[in-house]
Structure 1
């Protein structure tokens, strides 16, 4: 998969509220009511990521989930990252 140029990434980010581009990845974070809700959401995302065979770099501290997406084989952001980002947004009811 081909790495997207910075202009294309920034244009595509206009359709994803709360996401930003830095260090050759797109990033967001979500805050939940508690740890249980954050972890449950991670589990839902994990199943979708596995189906897409594209896995996020993420961290979870109590009720906060931080997600970074990039395609390591391409050394940057590709269509795969935006597909997973839109899936994540849909799972959270943001689209």
Structure 2
């Protein structure tokens, strides 16, 4: 069962995400980040790759796509706040994004 991150755990789990551009959402126990791609096709392709992991882990992001930008908010609704699932999915998103950039996409 997933649990909300404790204050102690937050320091270790969230700081590396903040270092890569994630930030806290005002008024919510959630993190957000905006990813910018060369074009719509690259943005949509990344979203499709992320969706496979989100479905596998049964943890789905709140996200919005406008042309070449995808804005993501992560929180665990079942615990009304951040959990390790959010950090795990954020790291996966960062990894897939870095992989795409390395391929010139």
* TM-score where L is the length of structure 2: 0.81
Mapped to 1, the partners of 2:34 and 2:11 lie a distance apart of: 18
Q: CA deviation at 1:11?
A: 4.0
Determine the structure 1 residue equivalent to 2:89: 84
Q: Where do 4+ consecutive residues of structure 1 move more than 6 Å? A: none
Q: CA deviation at 1:30?
A: 0.5
Q: Call closer, same or farther: CA 1:39–1:74 in 2, change over 3 Å.
A: same
Q: Call closer, same or farther: CA 1:10–1:21 in 2, change over 3 Å.
A: farther
- Whether the aligned pair in 2 keeps the contact of 1:10 and 1:21 (CA below 8 Å) is no
More helix by share: 2
- Whether the aligned pair in 2 keeps the contact of 1:31 and 1:38 (CA below 8 Å) is yes
Q: CA deviation at 1:48?
A: 0.9
Determine the structure 1 residue equivalent to 2:68: 63
Q: CA deviation at 1:5?
A: 3.7
| Cα RMSD for the two superposed structures | 1.5
Q: Which runs of 5+ in 2 are unaligned?
A: 100-105
Q: Which runs of 5+ in 1 are unaligned?
A: none
More strand by share: 1
